[in-house]
Structure 1
Amino acid sequence: MTATLKSFATNINCGSCVRSVTPFLDELEGVTIWRVDVEDDRKLLTVEGTATEAEIMQVVEDAGYDIRPVRA
């Protein structure tokens, strides 16, 4: 499977939020690298890897955050 870059709008809005979602995203198989831009109004989460959009959304929701896909 080819690695792709996926973007999501979230409510992950501070360093503490990023720390709390970190173990969820770090443990998701197929995630190569991820980051949250808390300066962006959308609190943009970008994920690179082979994990599916649904898998990424599920772990972020499991961590207690809102997430929705951002289409290019």
Structure 2
Amino acid sequence: METLQFKTTIKCSGCIEKVTPYLNETVGENNWEVDLQNPQKVLTIPNAEQVQTGEVVEALAKAGYKAEKI
């Protein structure tokens, strides 16, 4: 099982609501989580075998956010 993590510009629960449809479409519903307590606002995708880094970055960009793989 491969896990991907990204540092993001997501800041709050409202931001999460905005990115939810994009991430659900790209990586699957209930297959991602953003740690708002972490200063880097880390997005974790636990089951990422079929997910490309570029797809995640592009999905967040469509929602108006940035992501950088860590």
Which category of TM-score, normalised to the shorter sequence, fits these structures? 0.7 to 0.9
**1:47 Cα deviation after fit:** 1.1
Q: Which residue does 1:5 correspond to in 2?
A: 3
Equivalent AA in structure 2 for residue 55 of structure 1: E
TM-score, normalised on structure 2? 0.87
Equivalent AA in structure 2 for residue 17 of structure 1: C
Show the 5 A alignment for 1:1-72. 3-28=1-26, 31-32=27-28, 33-48=31-46, 49=48, 50-70=50-70
What RMSD over aligned residues (CA atoms) do the two structures have, in Å? 1.1
Where in structure 2 are there 5+ consecutive unaligned residues? none
Where does structure 1 differ by over 4 angstroms across 4 or more consecutive aligned residues?
A: none
Alpha-carbon distance in 1 for matches of 2:45, 2:61: 15
Equivalent AA in structure 1 for residue 66 of structure 2: D
Kindly tell me the number of residue pairs found equivalent between the two proteins: 66
1:4 counterpart SS class: coil
The structure where strand makes up a greater share of residues is 1
TM-score, normalised on structure 1? 0.85
Where in structure 1 are there 5+ consecutive unaligned residues? none
**1:26 Cα deviation after fit:** 0.4
1:45 counterpart SS class: strand
